Each structure stands twice: as structure tokens, then as C-alpha cells.
Amino acid sequence: MKKATFAAGCFWGIEKAYRAVKGVTKVTSGYMGGDLDSPSYEDIPGSGHAEVVQVEFDSKKVSYEELLDVFWQIHDPTQLNKQGPDVGEQYRSAIFYHSDEQKKIALNSKKKAQKNYPKKIVTVIEKAGKFYKAEEYHQNYLEKNPARHCSIMVDQFLAKKGGKK
């Protein structure tokens, strides 16, 4: 299995979107990109960490490029440190690469995606650091709490796929 790590606002919605992708074997919500060791959800604001999902995938069934296509569809990458009503550095748009190959693919994907947006994409592409798994109540949160929602565009993405909202 290969890994990919993405930040695109609230991790609840990102997780739900990637769980619907064929070839994805595991999605874990967590934190990455900051200086704090073993952060909790309450520690994240101001820590430099982003809410992320770590995606494990079978590269014979889904490519990294396809995972990046999902990334661009489920949020607005032109908003700096914000997605919908969620504001703060922890909600930034970021691709954390795990290899030089992923970095190259991500940079090309960003350049290609820019053609779809009139404003500049602010997504950062940086080397993956230590991943900290979020608390258990955050894992698969939207499935456990169907009355809740996330401001990223996961429902539109799932509707286009014919998947469950």
C-alpha cells in the first residue's frame, strides 16, 4: 500500500470523500505540518498543524493522480487558511508528499488545476512530516454523526460519483 496525505479544510469531509474512492484501503484523520509533538484537537489552532487525512491506497486500483483529482474537486484551493466558515491555518490547503515522485506529480497537478480557477491556487506542497492520528471520535465522524456536516464540497463530489451523501 502507498500513502498520500492531504489537507483541504475540515478533515471530516475529506475523510468521507476519500473513503468513497475505489482503491483506497484506509483513511485516517489526523494532524501534520506543525511543531507540536502529540497534539490534540484542542492544541491544533496556532500550532502550525493542519487537519489532514492520510490515505492508504492500492496503486494498481487508483493512482496518485486520481487522488489529486479528488483533492481539487472537494475544496476551494484558492482560499488561504479557510474553507467555508472554518478559518485558521489548521484549515489550509496542502499536499504533503511522501516521495520525490509524489512531489513532481503534485506540482504538475497543481499547475493543471490552476486552469480551472480564475484566482491563484494557494495550496502548499511540502514534504510529509510526522503524522499524528486524531482522536478516535474524529475517525469516520460524518458516518457516526449523520446530522453533522462539513463545509467542504464532499456532498457535491459524492453526488457526481453516484455515492452516498
**pLDDT means over runs of 10, the chain (165 residues):** 95 91 97 94 94 97 98 94 91 97 98 96 98 88 68 64 52
Catalytic hit among 10, 50, 70, 153:
10
DSSP class of residue 134?
A: P
DSSP class of residue 136?
A: G
Q: Catalytic residue at 10?
A: yes
Q: Where are the domains of the chain?
A: 2-161
What does the pLDDT read at residue 84?
Answer: 82
Global pTM? 0.90
What does the pLDDT read at residue 165?
Answer: 42
Cell numbers 454523526: residue:
145
Task: Output b/e per residue, 49-82; b: 16+ Cβ within 10 A.
Answer: bbbbbbbebeeeebebebbbebbbbbbbbebeeb
Look up the CATH number of domain 2-161: 3.30.1060.10
